[in-house]
Amino acid sequence: MRRGIFNVILGLFLFSANSVYSQDPHFSQFYSAPNILSPSLAGSSGGTRFVVNYRNQWPGISKAYQTYAFAADLYLDTYKSGLGVVFVTDKAGTASLNTSYLGLQYSYRVKLGDYWQFVPGMQFTFGQKSLDRSKLIFPDGSGAGSTNGNLDYFSDTRANYIDLVSSLFLFSPKMWIGLTADHLLRPSFSFIGERSFMPLKIVNFGGINFWSERSRIVEDSRTASLCYRFEYQNGFKQLDIGAYWYSSFLEFGAWYRGFPIFKNKLTDSQFLDSDAIVLMVGVERGSFRISYSYDIQLSSLAGYGSGAHEISLMFEMGKVFGCGSKYFDCFAKRKGIRFNKDLPRELRIF
């Protein structure tokens, strides 16, 4: 009974216009989905890269959230530019509320002295939201095949939109910081004939590689990093703090998502702040990398949702297009910190 009541609440939560920011698909493995984190990271591997992500959020609730993503990008050294394409689809609820979009990305690298690189980026987004109204069940018990007019309230079950994302990224061999602004065009969508705008979303992220050690026994290096991610949208503020440890073939990570230091206007809903502790493990062999993470819920959903599972696959084809000239180097995930004026700087991105 309690789970059934919760499913009703979840449905209202999904359709609430005041909670529209919650409908943006997201991943806990931020740096395993670099093209989603920032268009400036298109081409950041220095070669050609393919990434697949899958997230099953709240598996304890039937058909809560499932998110799939595919991205491909490359770096063109001659033009000091990165090109990328990303496709994301998110399915929520028993009525199959789907959010899908295709993003076309471009980034450009600017050298600032001997140690810093500045990378502005942009993404044009073509998106669609859809709903299967034949699966809707209303409070009076009516649904598919009903003649009481409830289904007629939905003027349309498909909404297309165009959007724009802009980003800035600054990095050195040891530090990085980025800023992403999404929904710059404030696209509108609605299934009931009203205008409902997507609020502007601002994401600030960064980190520092604060420790590294090279083994004298085997050709291996170990590095540790501290990271953060801050999101602001429609009065909602969330700070995520994370840390990573990795070697040339193995990595571990942990994030505290929703660090409870901000007073949000929707705090009383208990859906915000102290969201989850995310534990990650990844294995890398040559150009192939696979990682898994699990969200340990800290909110009131812990007794219902059963956390979240996430898997990421990444394949890199190396410096096929010549990344690593002595002026424009890579912000890449391989081998930790390496700095040589005549060789590429390979700075870890998870």
Task: State which residues form the domain around 136.
Answer: 2-316
213 located within any domain: yes
Tell me if 213 sits within 8 A of 222, measured CB to CB.
yes
Query: What pLDDT shows up at residue 327?
Result: 35
338 located within any domain: no
Nearest 5°: phi and psi at 46? 85, -5
Query: What pLDDT shows up at residue 65?
Result: 82
344 located within any domain: no
Domain count, the chain: 1
Query: What pLDDT shows up at residue 176?
Result: 94
Tell me if 106 sits within 8 A of 39, measured CB to CB.
yes
Give the C-alpha separation, 7 to 305, whole Å.
Answer: 11
- 320 CA to centre of own chain: 26
Give the C-alpha separation, 79 to 310, whole Å.
Answer: 35
User: What CATH code is carried by the domain that includes residue 103?
Assistant: 2.40.160.40
Closest by CA position to 82, among listed 337, 323, 289, 327 = 323
Token pair, residue 267, equals 């705090």
Residue-level length of the chain:
350
Tell me if 88 sits within 8 A of 59, measured CB to CB.
no
| CB-CB neighbours of 173 under 10 Å | 17
Query: What pLDDT shows up at residue 202?
Result: 96
329 located within any domain: no
Give the C-alpha separation, 62 to 101, whole Å.
Answer: 24
295 located within any domain: yes
325 located within any domain: no
Closest by CA position to 40, among listed 114, 91, 103, 131 = 103
Give the C-alpha separation, 256 to 242, whole Å.
Answer: 6
Give the C-alpha separation, 71 to 50, whole Å.
Answer: 6
327 located within any domain: no
List per-block mean pLDDT (blocks of 10 residues) for the chain, which spans 350 residues: 42 40 74 94 90 87 83 92 95 77 96 91 94 65 51 67 96 92 88 76 94 63 90 90 89 91 61 78 90 87 75 80 42 38 37
Give the C-alpha separation, 163 to 282, whole Å.
Answer: 33
Burial 9-38, CB ≥16 within 10 A → b, else e? ebbebbbeeebbbbbbbbbbbbbbbbbbbb
Query: What pLDDT shows up at residue 274?
Result: 74
347 located within any domain: no
